[in-house]
Structure 1
């Protein structure tokens, strides 16, 4: 999960991103066929052909996202110039990404090789020139909001369990961000081009809080348990903890469709190919293969969760608790020690569940 936070450091502090981003890599590879199909649909567009991955992150998953488009285009017309653009925030680990691109399993094979470009900034703003993109993707990134802010949230650290005005406030922010993301891409994607957004989603479920089941509910509820435990132990500031909410929103299908129903400019800009939320085969528990070893199962969950959650926890919870200039490493280590212990004791009680939101749009 590439993270979008107010400091603009999408992967700062992540612990071995590639080693702990199995879900992202599996998702990218699972969408090879669809990306290749979309690349084929736009291969007739005038040169140059450009593929851009928004919220790329530093890891192998973005290489796997770009690969099927590149392979398709090189097979269609080797004479047509091709560029691959990786777009993310300034704090992305660009050195790690470039090392992967230039590796033996990277993207510089073929004759001629593609032109590699980067775009640095927020995808809630313009990142590329008008009408310059043939095919755009955004995987596991658009659920992060443009700004993380405090809410009245004494009993939860994530959006899906918010209630009342706090939930309404956060949804307004999420809806505004989603609308702006679509507006920015409409300026950058050329007529006949495609935008493919795939991220974590949510589905209606009677009996759940807000009658909605959201991806990762077990993981985020485990994060809340550890947060409360450390507050009770006096390790975290209670007031700060009771206003901390991860700055993300996993949309239902209805929520993803709303901007197209309320915004005439978006209705004119795009033709909807797909907007759907679907379950993941097997439910999404990435580490079920380790259930015979609870310690390893717990270790895998702690590494995976720390990779995407630590930055938000550090900036919004740990650092404010200790004050400026204090070392937060011990606090972070203790948090994930307790998190790992919880999974070792409870195993599948907090297993990852996933529903994926897929949005495919053709630019008119």
Structure 2
């Protein structure tokens, strides 16, 4: 079965033309064969082709050009992977070759990309963060232990959520600067300026959380530990991993957890309700399952989720129809590489 359209879009791999040309000049003996793709306009290339529903456009292009296609978005050369077979080959045999991320200009505000789990340069820092997330944070035991924290809400927390929503909106907007880098100094859409302002506010709020936690730990002997405690207590070897996380690292990590877990969740819930309202039969099935598993007039707890099988199917279908992330985390080639007969 082919990958869902939303996931296809997230598998797009970007390589800046500057890097691509630099590699070609160093390897003049290589005669590369590029993947097929639609012809583009002079200067602009295929930048107008994706339209307002790029994941659907890519699906149509796959039918015409195949499972791997080549696009030129302004000055950015792009290889898009559009099938399960190609994606499997990529992740199995070429993951490290394309380990770097292509950083958009808005995500460079306050050096966000340097401390981000998703965008940090390939190396020891990113490996440590990912290990902490997969091994120590996003496991059932840790998530269940911190359920009481997620139930807390405050005025400052609401303000933080509002700012985070704006950041998600800014990070998802197409920025002409990313496709025509010589326009960086102009920032014609003002996205970098807005991101710098709102991200500064978010970092300020996050830093208060960190400061408050440090003070609370001095006064309390509470044995309960959450994600922030884990980060504050981290001690690396100082050689192939950082000895400690800086305040900037902590603040950015907090922001990223909220962006990945809060705003995306609310967006998914809104779309799920919208789709259920448009499909009354599915709505009836969801209500019946909730009454049977949870019971009438009772709140759904986190430990109920794994028992709600039909609701889980609804959520997965919502992910397919409405991918919660408004932006891509595209990859960038570190060196010349042959992929499925193309290079």
TM over 0.5: no
Higher helix share: 2
TM-score bin, normalised by smaller chain: under 0.3
Rg bigger for which structure? 2
Which of structures 1 and 2 has the larger relative contact order (alpha carbons within 8 angstroms, sep 6+)? 2
